[in-house]
Amino acid sequence: EFFKKKPLYLAALLVIMFVGGNLAMVTVEKFPHLACSPCHVMAPYVDAYDNSELLSHAHAQANVNCIDCHENGIEDKIQETVWYVTDDFDDPPYKRAFPNEMCTKCHSDIDAIVAKTDFGEANPHNSHLGDLVCSDCHKMHNQSRAKCADCHNFEFLQNLPADWDKEAKKTK
């Protein structure tokens, strides 16, 4: 009855709820335990983000939030909420593909990366395989594996950090 007499109050309430809801979503998504882990299929990803030898943890230590790469619009947030409430989601989650531009937003000096990874015998960032996508080798939520290890057993492959898969090498 009140809102029928004063429709501007209803409009103002709806605007406040919309703005407040969006503000809450933007705020909570900076905290993976609040935004991501309630969905049980996301818990392993959040756990790895917090404590692991995977790239997701290295990014967490550099203050890169999940949402910095997994950008979601309001439509995505609404859809994910519906999936969560109805318990209707992919398990395991659908693997998203990211173009190199996602990585080069932060890792922009490609020439420096190429120079840093010139191991003499080979350079994984200057590959004869042509244009690779960063995620062909660098895995955020799984153990990374150099694509060149599919065929080669270069010495530098044995000296990769602990988060890299060094097994199942084929020799050429």
Least confident of 31-35, 45-49, 115-119: 31-35
User: H or E segment at 15?
Assistant: helix 7-28
Split at pLDDT 50, 70, 90, the class of 171 is very low
Beta strands in 9-123 (DSSP E): none
Residue 166, both tokens: 């060094």
pTM, two decimals, is 0.70
- List the structure tokens of 97: 């593909």
**The two structure tokens encoding residue 43:** 């818990």
CB atoms within 10 A of CB 109: 10
pLDDT tens string 139-161: 988 889 999 889 988 888 888 88
Amino acid (one-letter) located at 74: I
CA angle 60, 134, 42 (to 5 degrees): 45
Give the integer Cα–Cα distance in Å for 124 and 144: 13
Among the ranges given (19-28, 56-65, 75-84, 113-122), the one the predictor scored with the smallest mean pLDDT = 19-28
Residue 169 has pLDDT above 50, yes or no: no
